[in-house]
Amino acid sequence: MRFVCVLLCLYGCRKAAESAGPEVHLPSRIVIGATLPVSSAEGQTARFYREGYELAVEAANRAGGVAVSGKRIPISLEFLDDGGDPSGAAGQIRTLIEEKKASFLLGSASGAVVEAQSALAEARHIPYVTAAGESKALFERGLKYFFGLQAPVQLLAYTQMRWIDEQQKAHKLPSPLTVAVLVEDSPRGREFAQGVRDFAAKTPSRRTSYRVVFDETFPASQQDFSAPLQRLKNARADAFLADSTLSEFLTLHRRYLWLGLCHKVVSYGAHGGETLALEEFGFPGLSYILSAVWWSARLARRGLNKQFADQFKETYHRDPDWYGALAYEAARALIAAIAASGDARPDSVRTQLATMKMESILPGGRLLFGPDQQAIYPYVVQQNQPDGTATVIFPNDVAESPGIPANPKCP
């Protein structure tokens, strides 16, 4: 009888183990690797990205680490300097994975490096989450382990056009509105221009409300804008929508002012309030210019945004910028996916990222990745004001003011 009881006990233990499933072997430490262009012209941006990454990891480690299947696992961050040079991507990825033992990667602040590294991470089946890289073409390569926090630049054009459309419907801008588009000849610039064209042509009513009368590109790093701006002047458009880097903007806007150009609506793409500081360098006429960003410190008035901004200011003694905010959210998304994976394995984490719907500091309050694994959310549209501020004017749920629809200095 005792032998039968022992057999029954062993059988019961085996069935309980089978029902519990295979044992999960969790690591004692999770290593996340990243490279940043510290020694390049983008060194300051690299610093902002590093601050965001570190802030998210420190928050997790203060709680004992990331919680996976009821166990807290500490996180280590390993950084390398990529110098903004994509030619060294293979060696950097190998060092992070083989020597530093990184199981997950966060992206560089250099878009060229991100493009190279993401393909290499894909070959090793390592989840790679980047806070840089807004071009849709970057995410149309069929990579399954690559995720991006910057919304597509086409949405930048769409968001600005939505604000313009509301002003036109309120009879504060003419109809039809003639639009001029001038962009850098790059994937980002071309996508911005396509976003404007798509918005203007999407419905029959828009096709009668908007006319694109000027649509040109310029080579990257162009120094002389005299010819295209003269053609722009001859087009006599109501709105001038450009997309350029900040250095291109400096050159372009100086010549724009010299030619006496003035449009009811002017935008220079994805820039923040840094354009306001240009007044100190002899750049008048910056009032009423539109810009768009992926995040603004002016959102930090409540909820997760306030928590993030307060934590950032306590740590770094200044208000956060959008670079740090997106880096923080990229790291937070990766950590959340690790926690939800159940086993902290790269394939499991990749699945969690692909299906993620997370409460977020991003505009709209939610993070999810689209079919190409690029985050989708509205941009924040800002407008430079005569008093030296950059006021959020769209989307309406976060707007501080309705904005000035037509530059009052322009006839």
pLDDT, one tens digit per residue, over 19-44 is 445 567 899 999 999 999 999 888 88
Per DSSP, the three-state class of 86 is helix
Euclidean distance between CA atoms 92 and 75, whole angstroms = 20
The two structure tokens encoding residue 39: 């020694």
Query: Which tokens in the block code for residue 32?
Result: 């996340």
pLDDT computed for residue 272 by the predictor: 53
Cis amide linkage into residue 152, ω under 30° from 0: no
Contacts 24+ apart (CB under 8 A), 338-343: 338/30, 338/66, 338/68, 338/104, 339/66, 339/67, 339/68, 341/68, 342/24, 342/68, 342/69, 343/24, 343/25, 343/26, 343/68, 343/69
* Domain positions in the chain: 30-151+300-367, 153-293+379-394
CATH classification (class only), 153-293+379-394: alpha beta
Rounded to the nearest 10 degrees, the angle between the axes of helix 322-341 and helix 303-316 is 110
Q: Across all residues in the chain, what is the average pLDDT? A: 89
Candidates 376, 370, 343, 331; CA nearest to 140 is 370
| Domain 30-151+300-367 CATH (choose: 1.10.3130.10, 3.40.190.10, 3.40.50.300, 3.40.50.2300) | 3.40.50.2300
Query: Quick one: tokens of 55?
Result: 């802030």
In this structure, the dihedral spanned by the alpha carbons of residues 381, 325, 42 and 274, taken in order and rounded to 10 degrees, is: 40
The answer to whether residues 261 and 201 touch, using CB atoms and an 8 Å cutoff, is no
Residue 15's alpha-carbon distances to 9, 21, 288, in angstroms, are 10, 10, 71
pTM: 0.82
Burial of 62 (0-12, 13-18, 19+ CB in 10 A): exposed
Q: Same CATH fold, 153-293+379-394 and 30-151+300-367?
A: yes
Measured CA to CA, the distance from residue 265 to residue 290 in angstroms comes to: 8
Interatomic CA distance for residues 98 and 312, integer angstroms: 32
CA distance 365 to 363: 5
- Show pLDDT as tens, one digit a residue, over the chain (411 residues): 554 454 444 445 444 444 445 567 899 999 999 999 999 888 888 999 999 999 999 999 999 999 999 999 999 999 999 999 999 999 999 999 999 999 999 999 998 999 999 999 999 999 999 999 888 889 999 999 999 999 998 888 999 999 999 999 999 999 999 999 999 998 889 999 999 999 999 999 999 999 999 999 999 878 899 999 999 999 999 999 999 877 788 788 889 989 999 999 999 876 655 444 444 444 556 788 888 889 988 777 778 999 999 999 999 999 898 899 999 999 999 999 999 999 999 999 999 999 999 999 998 889 999 999 999 988 889 888 887 778 889 988 888 889 999 988 887
pLDDT score recorded for residue 371: 94
User: How many angstroms separate the CA atoms of 102 and 52, rounded?
Assistant: 19
